[in-house]
Amino acid sequence: MHLRALRAPVAALSLLLGFGLAAPASSQNFEIAGGVAKKHEGETTEVFSAHWLPELRRFGNGTLRADVAVYRVQGRDVRDTAWRLSENVNVFGAGARWEHDRGLLLGFAVGVQDGYTDALSGDPQFISQIGWRWNWLTLSVRHISNAGFESPNQGESFVMLGARF
Task: Tell me the whole-structure pTM to 2 decimals.
Answer: 0.81
* Residue 149 clears pLDDT 90, i.e. is over it: no
pLDDT of amino acid 82: 73
Nearest-angstrom CA–CA distance, 47 and 53: 19
Residue closest to 3 by CA, chosen among 124, 146, 114, 144: 114
Residue 87 in this model has a pLDDT that exceeds 80: yes
Task: Note down the domain range covering 136.
Answer: 3-164
* Average pLDDT value for the chain: 84
**Domain total in the chain:** 1
Question: 106 vs 49, 62, 136, CA distance in Å?
Answer: 16, 11, 16
- CATH assignment at residue 30: 2.40.160.20
At 84 the pLDDT is: 80
Q: Using 50, 70 and 90 to split pLDDT, how confident is the model at 11?
A: low
Confidence of residue 88 (pLDDT cuts 50, 70, 90): very high
Please report the pLDDT score of residue 5 as a whole number: 44
Question: What's the confidence (pLDDT) of residue 1?
Answer: 38
| pLDDT confidence of residue 94 | 98
pLDDT for 111 equals 97
Read off the pLDDT of each residue in 29-53 and give the average, rounded to a whole number: 91
